[in-house]
Amino acid sequence: MGWRAHRYAPAPGTLLCTVNSVDDGACKELRFGDGDGMLSLLLHRRGSEIRAYVNSCPHFSLPLNSRPDVFLLMAGSRIMCAWHCAVFGLDDGRCHEGPAQGMSLDCVAVEVRGDGIFVAEPSGTS
Amino acid sequence: MSTQMVSEPGVKASAASNRTGYRSFTLGSFNFSRDEYFVHVTWPAKGQVMTHTVSADAFLRAMMRDVAWGFFYGWVNLDDVVGTRNLYGKVEMYAGRYSPAYSSKGLDLTETFETPQIMATFKAILDDWTNAGFDPFAAPAETGKEWVGNKNGHNREAIERQRQACKRMPGLPGDADLRTDENGFPINRAFADVPQDAPEVHAEPGFENEVHAMNLFAYLSRSDVTWNPSVSSVCGRSLCCPTTEEYILPIKHGNDRVEWFIQLSDEIDWVVEDKQTGAPRAKVKMKAGDVAAMPADIRHQGFSRKRSMLLVWENATPGLPEMYESGKLKPYPIEF
């Protein structure tokens, strides 16, 4: 099931946040919905580039952070899941080390327009 | 936004011993060394150096689980004296803290490390001390005795095994594969009689992609490790983590939440102790079909004389440890 099928998934064109609200080199968590069924997204900024993923480690399907909006970043644009130490590259979302090795974070397509970060249209649509 | 940068300091290791070929390792104030038969852990306390000695095979089996499980949930006691506690972002290493003979006299030590640092150190220890021919994941009957003696090569293929996990359930399109001869999972010697047929799924039109089933016994009969649960179904925060067990659970797992055990085949004897003191709490013999809830305030260790199948049911709800520690939740799920 892709993230767009999630009941709280933001629609294409939704403004997620401003670029400047994500510190360069850092991550930011965005939550949609409430409770256990909420959708958590992870934004990472490197210069003018923004990467977005569903904030769910494919090892135990847990968020990558154990505390709200606090992420464990490592050198080389990598992030470590706070629960069981899976390490993912933030450039491509792939797990290179730890219990989710060979698996990937679900990528969320976003686009930057002006100072805003928006949910992109699904590929193949205009 | 409070991103935490975690550093990756190098592993502190000695040169290889001229006598045994093994390196020694330092993690904070702890020192780890091994010889032909034993691992020695030392730490400072009250102006003296405390020493603790463990059989090297037991130590390697225990540390293998701690590394493979990513420090798991709560406490992983490598034995009665030393172990780790996952603080989910950092990890405590302790010696004697949960052993009253040490802690009551102030002879224990606990230090907290960035997770990458302790993980890198533990991996380096495993890499250096696991000789070719010895697989710390395997039952003693299925691996060699090459853990004995001086350093003799590596077994990286065994210790760097990829842990199996799934997003929803193995066998679904885009999810983890089912185990087969072809992908490297032959039927284990103890489960030669387990039927390998697959369930038939006849979904109502429109629900073809929403119904799935697998033969869990067949899946488990092809497990290539012991005491190493793999995630085999995910439903919200409910994780089914079945595993096959033989010989002794190499660690004593100190729960930070209730864990449900469902014995799927054969038997396991469990020794249940108080998490803080190690005082005996219960002995439980689980036979096929038995269900047990391991409370959130205990440590447990299992003994399986024949390879058996166990389903560990985990509640992965974030914030559970705090709810148990604060008393908001009782450490057991029901009261009689």
B183 and B122 assigned to the same domain: no
pLDDT digits (tens, 9 = 90+) for B136-176: 999 999 999 999 999 999 999 999 887 778 888 999 988 89
- Higher confidence at residue B69 or residue B251? B251
Domain CATH for A13: 2.102.10.10
- At position B178, the amino acid (one-letter code) is L
In a domain? residue A113: yes
Q: Residue B39: in which H helix or E strand, if any?
A: strand B38-45
Residue A57 lies in a domain: yes
* Residue A92, in any domain of the structure: no
> Could you tell me which residues come within 8 angstroms of residue B252 by beta carbon, excluding any fewer than 6 positions away?
B75, B77, B79, B80, B83, B273, B299, B300, B301
Q: pTM for the full model?
A: 0.91
Indicate if B145 and B67 belong to the same structural domain.
yes
Residue A125 has pLDDT above 70, yes or no: no
Which among B158, B176, B196 is the end of a domain? B158
Q: With contacts defined as CB-CB under 8 Å, which chain A residues touch B318? A: 62-63, 66
Nearest-angstrom CA–CA distance, B70 and B254: 15
Do B118 and B209 belong together in one domain?
Answer: no
Q: Are residues B271 and B289 in the same domain?
A: yes
Interchain proximity A61–B70, CB inside 8 Å: no
Q: Count other Cβ atoms within 10 Å, centred on residue A92.
A: 12
Q: Is residue B335, in this structure, part of any structural domain at all? A: no
d(CA A47, CA A111): 14
Maximum distance among all Cα pairs of chain A, rounded to whole angstroms: 40
Q: What is the secondary structure of A94-114 as a DSSP string?
A: BEEESTTTT-BPPB--EEEET
Which structural domain range is residue B184 located in?
163-224+226-325
Q: Is residue A13 part of a domain?
A: yes
Above 80 in pLDDT, residue B56? yes
Closest Cα in chain B, distance from residue A126 (Å): 26
Domain boundaries, position A114: 3-71+107-119
What token pair was written down for B173? 């399109």
How much is the average pLDDT of B323-330?
A: 95
User: Within this chain, do residues B52 and B149 fall inside the same structural domain, yes or no?
Assistant: yes
A55-74: average pLDDT: 89
- Residues in chain B whose Cβ is within 8 Å of chain A: 1-6, 8, 68-72, 86, 88-89, 115-116, 119, 162-163, 165, 167-168, 231, 234, 236-237, 239, 314, 316-318
* Over residues B208-216, mean pLDDT: 90
Chain A residues closer than 8 Å to B115 by CB: 72, 80, 85
Nearest CA in chain A to B8: A74
Partner-chain contact A66 B5, CB within 8 Å? no
Q: How many domains does chain B have?
A: 2
Same domain, B147 and B113: yes
Q: Tell me, yes or no, whether B142 and B249 share the same domain.
A: no
* Position A75 pLDDT exceeds 90: no
Identify which of A1, A59, A80 has the shortest CB distance to residue B116: A80
Assess if residue A27 is contained within a domain.
yes
What b/e sequence results for B233-253 when a residue is b if at least 16 CB atoms lie within 10 Å of its CB, and e otherwise?
bbeeeebbbbbbbbbbbbbbb
Is A26–B1 a contact, with Cβ atoms under 8 angstroms apart? yes
Q: What pLDDT is stored for residue B2 in this prediction?
A: 58
Tell me the CATH number at B308.
Answer: 2.60.120.10
The owner of tokens 């490790």 is B225
Write the residue in B89, B116, B162 that is nearest to A66 by C-beta: B89
> What letter does residue B163 receive in the DSSP assignment?
P
Kindly tell me if the per-residue pLDDT of B319 is higher than 90: no
- Express each pLDDT in A78-102 by its tens digit: 999 998 899 999 999 999 888 888 8
Evaluate if residue B242 carries a pLDDT over 50. Answer: yes
Chain B residues with CB under 8 Å of A66 CB are 88-89, 318
Residue A126 has pLDDT above 50, yes or no: no
B115–A72 CB contact, under 8 Å: yes
What pLDDT is recorded for position B124?
96
Statement: residue A1 has pLDDT above 70? no
**3-state SS record for A18-77:** EHHHCCCCCEEEEEECCHHHCEEEEEEEECCEEEEEECCECCCCECCCCECCECEEECCC
* Domain assignment of residue B1, yes or no: no
Give the count of domains, chain A: 1
Residues B38-52: tens digit of each pLDDT = 999 999 999 999 999
Mean pLDDT of chain A: 91
Mutate to test the interface with B, among A30, A53, A72, A78 (most CBs of B within 10 A): A72
Residue B131 and residue B239 in one domain = no
Q: Is residue A40 part of a domain?
A: yes
Is the pLDDT at B1 greater than 80? The verdict is: no
**Which of A63, A66, A74 has its CB closest to that of B116?**
A74
Instruction: Chain A: give the shortest CA distance to residue B48, in Å.
Output: 34
Q: Tell me, yes or no, whether A99 lies in a domain.
A: no
Residues B115 and B132 in one domain: yes
The pLDDT of residue A74 is above 70: yes
B204 and B108 within one domain? no
| Span B111-144, pLDDT tens digits | 999 998 999 999 999 999 999 999 999 999 999 9
Of B102, B125, B158, the position where a domain reaches its end is B158
Give pLDDT, residue A124. 62
DSSP SS3 for B180: coil
Asked if the structure places residue A78 within a domain, the reply is: no
Are B254 and B299 in contact by the 8 Å Cβ rule? The answer is: yes
* CA end-to-end distance (rounded Å), chain B: 46
User: Tokens 């975690």 belong to which residue?
Assistant: B6
The minimal CB distance from A99 to the residues B5, B88, B165 is found for B165
State how far the Cα of B332 lies from the Cα of B258, in Å rounded to an integer: 7
Same domain as B181, residue B55 = no
Mean pLDDT value across residues B55-73: 94
Which of B112, B137, B158 is at the close of a domain? Answer: B158
Q: Within a domain: residue B333?
A: no
Average pLDDT over residues A105-114: 96
Q: Is the pLDDT of residue A51 over 90?
A: yes
How many Å apart are CA B68 and CA A96, to the nearest integer?
Answer: 14
Q: How many CB atoms lie within 10 A of CB B216?
A: 18
Distance CA A94, CA A78 (A): 10
ipTM of the complex: 0.81
pLDDT in tens, B257-308: 999 999 999 999 999 999 999 999 999 999 999 999 999 999 999 999 999 9
CB contact under 8 A, A73 and B6: yes
pLDDT, averaged across chain B: 94
Shared domain check, B234 and B113 = no
CB A30 within 8 A of CB A54: no
